[in-house]
Structure 1
Amino acid sequence: MSQRFVILDGSSLMYRAFYALPPLTDSRGEPTNAIFGFSNMLTKIMGELQPDKLVIAFDKGRQTFRTERYAEYKGTRDKTPEELLAQIPLLHEFAAAFGISFIEKERYEADDIIGTLSTQAAGAGHEVMVITGDRDALQLVRPNLQVLLTKKGISEMKTYDEAAFREEYGFEPIRLIDLKGLMGDTSDNIPGVPGVGPKTASKLLIEYGTLEEVLAHIDDISGKKLKERLTENKEQALMSKELATIECNVPDLTLDWEAYAVTPDHVRMQTFCDRYELRAVWKNFVKLYGEGDTAPVLDFSQTAPETIDLTSKTWTAAEVTEKLAAAEALAISGIFAGKAPFAKLTGVALCTLPAHEHGFVTAEGEPYEKLLAVLGSVPTVALSGLKAYYQAGWQPAENYLDTELAAYLLHPESNRYQVENLAQEYLGQTLPEGLTDAQEKAVWESDILAEVQQMLTAKLQELGMQELYSKIELPLVEVLASMEQKGIYINRQELDSKGQELSARLDSLQQDIYTLAGREFNINSPKQLGEVLFEDLQLPPVKKTKTGYSTNAEVLETLRAKHPVVELVLNYRTLSKLKSTYIDGMRDLIGDTGRIYTTFNQTVTATGRLSSSDPNLQNIPVRTEEGRTIRALFEPGEGYDYLLSADYSQIELRILAHMSADERFIDAFVQNQDIHARTAAEVFNVPLNEVDSTLRRHAKAVNFGIVYGISDFGLAKDLHIEKKEAKRYIDNYFARYTGVKAFLDKTVEQAHQDGYVKTMFDRRRELAAINSRNFMQRSLAERMAMNTPIQGTAADIIKLAMISVYKELQAAGVKSRILLQVHDELVLEVVESEMDKVQGILKKAMEQVVKLSVPLLIDMHAGKNWAEAK
């Protein structure tokens, strides 16, 4: 009896899945995106094709009978990425758990296994389907044998039978090998006949049938050059055809029909999915085969219907009360109108758990008021983007699960935390095609949030980050929402005046550059600047790119002393960036109130630091005169008298002293010594009172360099000294601060074992490349392992301080308020009569927020603008 036999080209499909999906890793940093994509595709195949038998064919290695014939075969291919290689053993495990035969053979490619099994099965009268991303397999098409070619990564497939192939190519499928003999194949490094492309090759085959016939009729072919090429490359063409031919008689490989039955193992699959945190893969498996005898991975989501009514009814106040009273959890998705931070909430889609009932509430009237009243009584309220709800008037609560924040804590490198991303990563679902209605999309999102909320909560608890979420990240949202809505006043008149001043200085610089260069050119064009520096002025080229000479900042710094024009170009770039980014950029962002409303991003940096955008107020240079003039534009608004800056003093070094327990380091801070001078005395072996400004500057570079895992090369570059001398500085540092050295070494060693590092507050950062065989990637990961616990702990402490200051200011009933957070600094808008009280709150809240073995200290300065307050 005829059966449907599906053969998967595992090598091709894994490769396509890897590149089709964004990088995904488990909590240990192990890559899983290829397996995730492969699972999605397999689920689709099993559901749509319903094969009776299934096999996965895979390449055994790069050495095959083809490389024995032609050593350069596939020789131009890039090395397989480490992150993909790491997932091949996972595919073996996955196939075994799924109960799918996995076949690979020494000296043969997956194509040859596919060719042998597919032709045997087709010859026996079975319906055969080969699924691959490699067009070479099209030569196998024949009666009973179709090839399904993946397109757009792995999401779509085009089916080729004999008719479809003829329609596209104009000849029989088996003639594909003759086509490759003539035109070659760059992806496999098959040479073919130089100068013969697909159009010429196809035309010749349509006329003569086979490569051998083409070569036998060279004299009849028009075109002198083509004749010469065919004559000179006969042997190469025949060899190319041989290389392109799939072997359909692999030794010791015959149909084992019973072995190709799919025999899923629920326990093994659940263990596999748990091990690599592939919940969506388990969900796909359950869709096909049910849960079997295993315990369900999910509690609430298993009750979710396969399809939901996206036009869910609008609930009355009574229905809100009734349904939420019975809910163990609630998932909501709001519809917002307008621009943050003043966007209005117009409606809310709801999904209750465990009942999975869907409803909608308009953000006005009695049902909405009832919803707000009972939200606090539901054990968990899952939503995405809590800050917007606070800004729309919702009250803070401890039962909110912001899925965006939770997903960020679990994978801080991702930057993909929106509902659609979570649907794909955790559930293997995508936004329904054509879904544009705002209410229907909100209903869909609420359903997704209902399904993922328990997964996220369980994972936070498993990894020990529940307290980090509930004590730091969740309460911080309210603080950030408030800061964004407050904004900061900017003096528009001074801004315009500064813009005119910078324009005049840029014009003057431009003319000076033209004079020194000897001609006019576009200073902002790297190509034209490179021509001026390296051709006209004959400066030594430092680095070249594909498009010409490199003129980046590093190159120009190297050339600074070679010609005065370089200094002017660097100045020009600095002023030009300040003008475009801050003067021109901020002018368009000033609101009717005269204030600028930046956005504080809580889910962007991998270390836990906050970032700022539209505009980025954290990147204004603080140590340059130009940067200070930009800061001077920010002033206290109406009703306030001063801006007050509170800045942690050397917080990262203090954290390093505490975490390393280095006695010398701790002693310096306990005695309130100048840490850089003390370090200089230790490293350069001079009395503390003889440390000069140069030695202190060098020691400062070493201190902060150690925090960031700096190398001797990097330190030499920063200090403009020889690499040997920089190495001596670092060696002397570690010889004196042995506790620091031991701490950093232990941290890196632990990272190699665990695949991640943690802060004092259990914030994790996965380091996927920590055990990479690529030296550069591994070294970068090791530097991250050194600096993340320090930077991340500093970020956690500053966040705790912000929460504490915010609450203390509220409790004191003062008008003064926090406006900005910039790295280790808080900026407040203060009423003069409250200055002493506010400073007292800042000192207590920031310096006592956490107990370290060294004192935490802040510096405070007030002024009539931000520059004066720094």
Structure 2
Amino acid sequence: MKTLLLVDGSSYLYRAFHAMPDLRNSANEPVGAIQGVLNMLRRLHKDYPAEYSACVFDAKGKTFRDDLYPEYKANRASMPDDLRVQIEPLYETIRAMGWPLIIEEGVEADDVIGALAKQAEKEGIKTIISTGDKDITQLVNAHITVVNTMRDAFRKTDDVLDVAGVEQKFGVPPTQMIDYLTLVGDTADNVPGVEKVGPKTAIKWLTEYGSLDNIVAHADQIKGVVGENLRKALPWLPTARELITIRCDIGLCEHFDALIAQPPDKAKLLALFDHFEFRSWKRDLDKLADGPADATSGSSPTAPGPQASAPQQLYTPDTRRLYQTVVTEEALDQWLLKLQQAELMCFDTETTSLDAMQARIVGVSFSVTPGEAAYVPLRHDYFDAPTQLSLEGTLSKLKPILENAAIKKVGQNLKYDMHVLANHDIQLRGVAHDTLLESYVFESHKGHGMDELSERHLGIAPIPYEAVAGKGAKQVNFSQVTVEQAAEYAAEDADITLQLHQALYPQVSVSDKLLFIYEKIELPSMLVLQHMERNGVFIDSHMLQRQSNEIGLRLMEIEKQAFELAGQPFNLGSPKQLQEILFGKLGIKPLKKTPSGAPSTDEDVLQELALDYPLPKVILEHRSLAKLKSTYTDKLPKMINPQTGRVHTNYNQAVAITGRLASADPNLQNIPVRTAEGRRIREAFIAPPGAHIVSADYSQIELRIMAHLSQDAGMLRAFANNEDIHRATAAEIFGVERTAVDNEQRRYAKVINFGLIYGMSAFGLAQNLNIERSAAANYIERYFARYPGVRQYMSDTRELAKRQGYVETIFGRRLWVPEINSANVQRRNGAERAAINAPMQGTAADLIKLAMIAVHQWLTAEKLQSKLIMQVHDELVLEVPDQELALVQAQLPILMQGVATLDVPLLAEVGTGNNWESAH
């Protein structure tokens, strides 16, 4: 039997646009959706060879459904400009590849697909429909199959939907899908169903009554609220059903001979790939056979602009699933031999907890070859769980491999696994790669979770954790997951991670700059951070308890003061009550509104109102203290690890586009230092007896980086002469001798220096200094007149960001600004400010990471007892035994200042004390 392959091109197009990175050619034209669609078409022809094929797209303009129901698809946002401009070039390329392309006016792609499929059925031709649209499943029968490539193209289940597959997935057979969708509605197309009727109710009714018509006939017998809702919806249901039904009688004139794939137009493809700058596909054109299946065979194209600077070969995933559950010593020994002989082994743990310091191993998984993996269950302890290998015995066999630095390892977020293994007295060595960090270095503006990476780079949707362990209140510990489910999930994790490395590393290594960031900064930083997290920091819980009690008393006083100012008691934490007091009872004019239209009481509003009214000032103080109490003085003592007596934060490397670390559980980077209460919290971070806290940070690091980047002669001279940069700026702006600059002028200059590198406007500067806007604008103009290199740097950086979609740190970290060409003025302006500041903030992040690595390596090489315990922005915090104090104090500045050579000297300042605050 011959086969017809029909592709829902419109669903491909949107999926590719949202899934692919923001690829652009050197003319800054977006090409990511084009590359994504062509990749998916290639994969389809490879996996589902067919005698006939067509790629079907929606036509522009209205269809009969819009006439039937004007609100049809009214909830959809307008097509993004970056997607719209890719459509015609994509059509041209698909035709040049030899694919028949169909666009029919007045109907949707679904209707065209339905008509062709039914026509093929009459002629004895089998049809495969590739789409992610569930509406198409109404067509499925013995001759028509749906391939859900949009979601799970390479999974064992939810891959090919035949009659049984549709019923298994939706709970009803294909013959009832129209009735099912009519009842539940289609939110994507803005087609309402019956209110409060979801899949379970729809399945129940259809099982009981057999059809929608029969449900309607018995509507008066259906009890409860859903019965009332059904009766209310009766007049609407015929329209909903007509909207959802695919029209297969639209009178297409296509003959199947017209759907035979044609040889690719090599000359046309060459010109198109040249324009898109798909370099590897251009090279492959000479190898093409006479058929469209080969027009995009082999690797994906190299895309230019934001994603690549030189030709590269992208990875084609291995779709095999050769997974083994290891439950015998013989099978384990066979895998251990594979691991010992492998060039690179992927390793993953399944554990009892997300708390890395507390988690214990439930099982381990490995992969050394794409498509092949193993899971070793060790501690699944549910009722009737099968016999498993001994945890202690298995780990004792694994330990020599895991601790062997010559056996190279790759994983996803290996810092977590390093902690877990350390909980079992195993020190993971030989860490060669981490896919989380590869993704972060390559595309920091995207998500870096394994599932998201797999879908984006491999086109594979892995089994989600919730599918095996449940979610919410019903989620179980992994030890309660059945071995069968756990094995498929965990083995797939190892396999996918190995394949992700093979997909991502070539894209990182194509750029020497990105490779430096990855191999010399991020990977070594991960190893240092794991040590730092493990070290933890001592907390004086009694001091925090006293502070908490004092803050509690102060909060009561402030609350009483607020009641007096308001003339009545009220809930200070209630925005609604605060609105009523401020804008109702007190008659204060609102400054802005919330999205719902109510007067805003956010912090910015209260800060502005506090300049003129006492109550907002009191509310702000109450909020600040209440946050300190709940976040730190109350919470920190509860977070002390009972085994170590210390607090252990988690540093996330892959969050900020700039490369800065994010601290969580607890967040040690947001403890306020501008208030006395915030500084007192730092007093509770103490050194143990016989040791001191040492703090070392870079002085005015971002201004020094600005001087280097801008090459402004005035700034370079000031730093070269070790002058006070704020005093030097004040002298330039106010036109006085530096010796004559007073404290107020220096303060103004400091605000201007730091404000401008963060993109502060004249309005923002006026607010900050509480001066007229015209005066602020005058100061800014004087600043740029004295420092013209800074103005030029800002202008050049904005233009560079617009051209390539990112800017770079001095070391080559890519700092993405996705909205730099946004049509929304506010977003575009925000992106421009970010583009100006990001190279400074990002370079500062690179420098402190390099410093952290240098310090850790020195401590290790010298076998010192001193240890890094925190990294907070531009500051390193160490715990130093008294006998090593003088050595560390002398060496720290040398190490930190020596990690890079800029056109201005780096300056690191060191402080010492019994606690963190006194070390400043």
| TM-score normalised by structure 1 residue count | 0.79
Q: d(CA) in 1 for partners of 2:704 and 2:634?
A: 39
How far 1:307 sits from its partner (Å)? 2.7
C-alpha deviations, 1:371-414, integer Å up to 9, x for none? Answer: 146x3334x42123332454415557566212222222112123
Q: Which residue of 1 aligns with 2:342?
A: 327
Q: Which residue of 2 aligns with 1:456?
A: 504
Q: d(CA) in 1 for partners of 2:240 and 2:399?
A: 75
Contact preservation (8 Å) 2:320, 2:371: no
Contact preservation (8 Å) 2:141, 2:163: no
Q: Does 1:58 align with 2:57?
A: yes
Q: d(CA) in 1 for partners of 2:11 and 2:462?
A: 27
Q: Which residue of 1 aligns with 2:227?
A: none
Q: d(CA) in 2 for partners of 1:97 and 1:436?
A: 50
Which consecutive unaligned segments of at least 5 residues does structure 2 have? 193-201, 203-211, 217-230, 282-291, 301-311, 377-388, 469-480
Q: Which residue of 2 aligns with 1:220?
A: none
**Aligned-partner SS, 2:405:** helix
Determine which of 457, 468, 472 is the counterpart of 2:521.
472
Q: Does 1:403 align with 2:432?
A: no
1:468-507 matches, within 5 Å, as 468-507=517-556
Q: d(CA) in 2 for partners of 1:617 and 1:102?
A: 57
Q: Does 1:646 align with 2:696?
A: yes
Q: d(CA) in 2 for partners of 1:276 and 1:555?
A: 52
Q: Which residue of 2 aligns with 1:376?
A: 405
How far 1:669 sits from its partner (Å)? 0.9
**Aligned-partner SS, 2:505:** helix
Closer/same/farther in 2, CA of residues 794 and 53 from structure 1, 3 Å limit: same
Contact preservation (8 Å) 2:727, 2:749: yes
Q: d(CA) in 1 for partners of 2:188 and 2:489?
A: 42
Contact preservation (8 Å) 1:6, 1:131: yes
Deviates more, 1:143-152 or 1:762-771: 143-152
C-alpha deviations, 1:75-106, integer Å up to 9, x for none? Answer: 77532234654664685477458753222357
Closer/same/farther in 2, CA of residues 520 and 18 from structure 1, 3 Å limit: farther
C-alpha deviations, 1:625-673, integer Å up to 9, x for none? Answer: 1211111111112332x21211211101101111211110111111222
How far 1:31 sits from its partner (Å)? 8.2
**Aligned-partner SS, 2:765:** helix
Q: d(CA) in 1 for partners of 2:893 and 2:494?
A: 43
Q: Which residue of 1 aligns with 2:854?
A: 804
C-alpha deviations, 1:683-727, integer Å up to 9, x for none? Answer: 343333343333333322222223223333433443344444433
**Aligned-partner SS, 1:828:** strand
1:842-857 matches, within 5 Å, as 842-857=892-907
Deviates more, 1:693-702 or 1:121-130: 121-130
Contact preservation (8 Å) 1:763, 1:792: yes
Q: Which residue of 1 aligns with 2:366?
A: 350
Q: Which residue of 2 aligns with 1:340?
A: 356
Contact preservation (8 Å) 1:744, 1:786: yes
Q: Which residue of 2 aligns with 1:430?
A: 461
Contact preservation (8 Å) 1:484, 1:599: yes
Equivalent residue letter for 2:461: T
Q: d(CA) in 2 for partners of 1:444 and 1:802?
A: 35
Q: Does 1:387 align with 2:415?
A: yes
**Aligned-partner SS, 1:548:** coil
Determine which of 608, 611, 618 is the counterpart of 1:568.
618
1:219-230 matches, within 5 Å, as none
Contact preservation (8 Å) 1:303, 1:356: no
Closer/same/farther in 2, CA of residues 86 and 497 from structure 1, 3 Å limit: farther
Contact preservation (8 Å) 1:492, 1:594: no
Q: d(CA) in 2 for partners of 1:587 and 1:672?
A: 43
Q: d(CA) in 1 for partners of 2:264 and 2:576?
A: 61
Q: d(CA) in 2 for partners of 1:99 and 1:545?
A: 50
Q: Does 1:443 align with 2:500?
A: no
C-alpha deviations, 1:334-384, integer Å up to 9, x for none? Answer: 3455642364567643333599675859665653243146x3334x42123
Contact preservation (8 Å) 1:118, 1:145: yes
Equivalent residue letter for 1:611: A
Equivalent residue letter for 1:330: M
Contact preservation (8 Å) 2:652, 2:661: yes
**Aligned-partner SS, 1:377:** coil
Q: d(CA) in 1 for partners of 2:906 and 2:333?
A: 53
**Aligned-partner SS, 1:431:** coil
Equivalent residue letter for 1:608: G
Q: Which residue of 2 aligns with 1:778?
A: 828
Deviates more, 1:25-34 or 1:843-852: 25-34
1:240-639 matches, within 5 Å, as 254-262=253-261, 275=278, 294=298, 305-311=320-326, 314=329, 322-324=337-339, 326-336=341-351, 339-341=355-357, 343=359, 348-353=364-369, 364=393, 367-372=397-402, 375-378=404-407, 380-391=408-419, 392=422, 400-418=432-450, 420-432=451-463, 434=468, 437=483, 441-464=489-512, 465-541=514-590, 542-546=592-596, 548-592=598-642, 593-639=644-690
Contact preservation (8 Å) 1:35, 1:87: no
Q: d(CA) in 2 for partners of 1:303 and 1:139?
A: 31
Q: d(CA) in 1 for partners of 2:83 and 2:5?
A: 24
Equivalent residue letter for 1:528: Q
How far 1:274 sits from its partner (Å)? 10
Closer/same/farther in 2, CA of residues 732 and 246 from structure 1, 3 Å limit: farther
Closer/same/farther in 2, CA of residues 840 and 87 from structure 1, 3 Å limit: farther
Which consecutive unaligned segments of at least 5 residues does structure 1 have? 192-198, 200-204, 210-225, 279-287
**Aligned-partner SS, 1:760:** coil
Equivalent residue letter for 2:669: Q
Equivalent residue letter for 2:715: F
What is the aligned length?
819
Contact preservation (8 Å) 1:27, 1:411: no
Q: d(CA) in 1 for partners of 2:24 and 2:449?
A: 15
Q: Which residue of 1 aligns with 2:205?
A: none
Closer/same/farther in 2, CA of residues 256 and 389 from structure 1, 3 Å limit: same
Deviates more, 1:525-534 or 1:741-750: 741-750
User: Percent identity of the aligned residues?
Assistant: 36
How far 1:423 sits from its partner (Å)? 3.3
Q: d(CA) in 1 for partners of 2:35 and 2:316?
A: 23
How far 1:446 sits from its partner (Å)? 2.6
Closer/same/farther in 2, CA of residues 24 and 519 from structure 1, 3 Å limit: farther
Closer/same/farther in 2, CA of residues 804 and 543 from structure 1, 3 Å limit: same
1:696-735 matches, within 5 Å, as 696-735=746-785
Closer/same/farther in 2, CA of residues 333 and 314 from structure 1, 3 Å limit: farther
Equivalent residue letter for 2:436: E
Equivalent residue letter for 1:521: F
Contact preservation (8 Å) 2:322, 2:371: no
**Aligned-partner SS, 2:322:** coil
Give the RMSD, CA atoms, in angstroms. Answer: 5.3
Equivalent residue letter for 2:254: L
Closer/same/farther in 2, CA of residues 127 and 390 from structure 1, 3 Å limit: closer
How far 1:737 sits from its partner (Å)? 1.5
Closer/same/farther in 2, CA of residues 313 and 329 from structure 1, 3 Å limit: farther
Equivalent residue letter for 2:323: I
Contact preservation (8 Å) 1:14, 1:35: no
Closer/same/farther in 2, CA of residues 156 and 578 from structure 1, 3 Å limit: farther
**Aligned-partner SS, 2:348:** strand
C-alpha deviations, 1:142-200, integer Å up to 9, x for none? Answer: 99999999999997898899x99xx999x999999xx99xxx99988999xxxxxxx9x
1:143-158 matches, within 5 Å, as none
How far 1:564 sits from its partner (Å)? 1.2
